[in-house]
Amino acid sequence: MDRTLDKKTVLTGPYENVISENNHFYVVHKFNKICVIPYTISENGLLHKIGVIKETDILKEKENYTLINNYISQDDPTNLVAANRLLFEIIGSNVKSADAWMYLGKIDNIVGANGMIIYCVNLTDIDINESEEVEESKKATKFEMVEANKVTISDDALFLAVYMRLFNFFYTNSLK
């Protein structure tokens, strides 16, 4: 059986390419992506709310919870700066304290893709900018803080994997 790799670029975009390999199509990102999962903690130290955006799944024609995500800019000196920039674009607040941030790792969800760099941020004691401009931005991106137990209704496997990493951190720490 001939297993030669026949890679062919089908479509080129500013942020990704679509390639065809052995009768399959793949999206290959040109830049690293970053995801941010804001959360709050309840009084007993467990996850209380998770920040999500709703995106329309054009194939299923329904809305689905997903992560706040975007590409890392060449102007971002570090991944954490990129994560904070992305969060600021959504909630209008700059979370300067490094103690509020936690790196959850990198998750590769597609063969050949660069994967997603994942950060979470504790918004429990953060003053969220509630100006009219920020509220319009939240409405446009469909950002909301939902009860942590409702996150599992998402069909987004990447989102669920990231949530499980965050949940595991809190579960393990609550046992101590």
**Which amino acid, one-letter code, is at 104?**
L
Nearest to 75 by CA among 85, 67, 64: 85
Q: Which two tokens stand for residue 16?
A: 């990704």
Q: What angle do CA 116, 112, 79 make, to 5 degrees?
A: 25
Q: 123 and 95 in contact (C-beta within 8 Å)?
A: yes
45 backbone φψ class: left, alpha, beta (φ>0; ψ -120 to 50): left
pLDDT of residue 121: 95
Distance CA 100, CA 147 (A): 20
CA distance between the termini of the chain? 54
pTM comes to: 0.76
Residue 172, classed as helix, strand or coil, is helix
| Residue 95: exposure state from Cβ atoms within 10 A (0-12, 13-18, ≥19) | buried
Residue 69 sits at φ, ψ, to 5 deg, of -150, 155
Domains recognised in the chain with CATH numbers? 1-30 (no CATH), 31-175 (3.90.79.10)
Distance of CA 175 to the CA centre of its chain: 27
Q: For every residue of 34-49, which 3-state class applies, written as one string?
A: EEEEEEEECCCCCEEE
pLDDT of residue 120: 93
pLDDT of residue 49: 92
pLDDT of residue 5: 42
pLDDT of residue 4: 41
Q: 85 and 96 in contact (C-beta within 8 Å)?
A: no
Q: Strand 116-122 and strand 33-41: pairing? A: parallel
Per run of 10 residues, the mean pLDDT along the chain (length 176 residues) is 57 82 78 88 87 81 82 88 91 87 81 74 82 72 84 75 84 70
